[in-house]
């Protein structure tokens, strides 16, 4: 035990895999405490019943297995997409946005069960340790956090397997044989791949790595057209059919994956300071970003949109770095959500071989597009073109002053 204060009960974020199964036993042995397990379904596409059975077999009395897919999309993914958040120009934050929800439930379960600590399986090199713990401390300031990867010496797969064998912890056959040559993390927004053979940023992954998107070369030869309906910045219907947030994202994943949309291979800057190569599949999110910007283009004031674009990189960094529950993110969210009151209407898209093409956008109630003024034909006096001369001269004034000064110095 690393601290003098004894831990009585700890809530573990538990997947049922090798790492967290070893952690479960390790916590009991090293902290002599009761362990409560929490397993969240956030759309990772895995059967969760085995995790419950495994936890029960390892002597866990309080087991929480929860379907959080709708909450994940409604309260985390959708608010993030109202901001058009993109980290370092490309990454749609699929892993980052899932961590605050898990932290929130860890804390809520800790409070309801009387636990005095929480634990996670994030390593000491990654971003997730920061995201889990910043979220937990924001919601439960005095919570004790146990991060085994920062304490133990089981720093390789072989050592983990040896510990599992020593203590009779069942291990999936694929894990014992080595499994995939990289690590994966999945939720309803994306799948990420990193580590292993991907640690060489020059290595091109095999096409078989990708799980939810077909290769654009193998996508259908004919484009597919869809219509998305928006209310206050959120998608509420696809092709006229109203859906819940979780159903919306699942359907967009299906459509985007079928057409090879949403693959990304990048080197990003982790919050802890190192560069990391990751590959991501985000088919539904890629469609959502394109469509949302199209909807805003017709319904949002120019300067409001410009202000949002100025703030977006900072908002994205807050999410990436784990500050979802920070006062600054909450303040920005209020501003962003207020801006979405007019983002209502429909966007038409064409999905084709890895691309998302906007083919139309309309808003009956909130469109700022005035065809009388925008037309290149006779506008009947709606716009006086002669006014542009003064506008241009005033904007050119500082340029002319500087040019004249430069000319006088020759």
Active site residues: 19, 99, 128, 183
Q: Are 132 and 103 in contact (CB under 8 A)?
A: yes
CA 31/CA 182 separation, integer angstroms: 31
Q: How far apart are CA 367 and CA 346, in angstroms?
A: 11
Nearest to 257 by CA among 293, 304, 212: 212
Task: For CA atoms 213, 235, 135, 118, give the dihedral sign.
Answer: negative
Count of CB atoms situated within 10 Å of the CB of 254: 12
What Å distances lie between residue 218 and 88, 167, 207, 353, CA to CA? 29, 47, 11, 8
**82: its two tokens:** 């109202």
Determine the straight-line distance between the first and last CA of the chain, rounded to whole angstroms: 77
- 196 φ/ψ sector (left φ>0, alpha ψ -120 to 50, else beta): left
DSSP characters over 177-246: HT-SSSEEEE-SS-EEEESGGGGSTTPPPPGGG-SS---GGGS-SS-EEEEEEEETTEEEEETTEE--HH
Residue with tokens 């990867």: 149
Residues written for the chain: 410
Contact 185, 177 (CB under 8 A): no
Residue 54 near residue 14 (C-beta atoms within 8 A): no
Q: Are 140 and 152 in contact (CB under 8 A)?
A: no
| Residue that the structure tokens 């089981």 belong to | 154
CB 332 within 8 A of CB 83: yes
């Amino acid at each position: 035990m690393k601290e003098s204060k004894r831990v009585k009960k700890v809530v573990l974020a538990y997947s049922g895999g090798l790492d967290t199964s070893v952690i479960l036993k390790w916590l009991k042995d090293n902290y002599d405490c009761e362990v409560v397990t929490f397993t969240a379904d956030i759309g990772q596409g895995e059967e969760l019943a085995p995790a419950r059975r495994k936890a029960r077999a390892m002597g866990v009395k309080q087991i929480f297995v929860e379907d959080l897919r709708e909450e994940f999309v409604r309260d985390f993914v959708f608010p993030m997409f109202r901001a058009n958040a993109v980290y370092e120009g490309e990454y749609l934050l699929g892993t980052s946005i899932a961590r605050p929800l898990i932290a929130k439930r860890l804390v809520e379960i800790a409070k309801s069960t009387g636990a005095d600590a929480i634990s996670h399986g994030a390593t000491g090199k990654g971003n997730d340790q920061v995201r889990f713990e910043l979220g937990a401390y924001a919601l439960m300031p005095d919570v004790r956090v146990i991060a085994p990867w920062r304490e133990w010496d089981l720093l390789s797969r072989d050592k983990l397997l040896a510990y599992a064998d020593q203590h009779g912890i069942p291990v999936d056959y694929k894990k014992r044989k080595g499994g995939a040559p990289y690590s994966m993390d999945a939720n309803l927004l994306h799948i990420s791949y990193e580590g292993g053979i991907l640690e060489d940023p020059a290595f091109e992954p095999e096409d078989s790595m990708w799980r939810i998107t077909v290769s654009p070369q193998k996508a259908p030869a004919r484009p597919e057209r869809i219509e998305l309906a928006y209310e206050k910045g959120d998608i509420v219907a696809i092709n006229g059919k109203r859906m819940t947030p979780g159903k919306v994202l699942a359907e967009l994943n299906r459509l985007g994956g079928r057409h090879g949309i949403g693959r990304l291979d990048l080197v990003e800057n982790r919050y802890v300071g190192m560069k990391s190569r990751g590959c991501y599949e985000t088919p539904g999110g890629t469609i959502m970003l394109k469509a949302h910007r199209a909807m805003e283009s017709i319904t949002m004031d120019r300067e409001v949109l410009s202000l949002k674009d100025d703030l977006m990189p900072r908002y994205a960094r807050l999410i990436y770095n784990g500050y979802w529950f920070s006062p600054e993110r909450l303040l920005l969210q209020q501003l962003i959500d207020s801006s979405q009151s007019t983002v209502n209407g429909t966007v038409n898209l064409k999905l084709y071989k890895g691309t998302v093409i906007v083919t139309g956008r309309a808003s009956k109630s909130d469109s700022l597009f005035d065809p009388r003024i925008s037309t290149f034909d006779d506008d009947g006096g709606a716009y006086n073109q002669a006014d542009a001369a003064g506008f241009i001269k005033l904007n050119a004034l500082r340029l002319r002053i500087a040019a004249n000064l430069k000319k006088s110095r020759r």
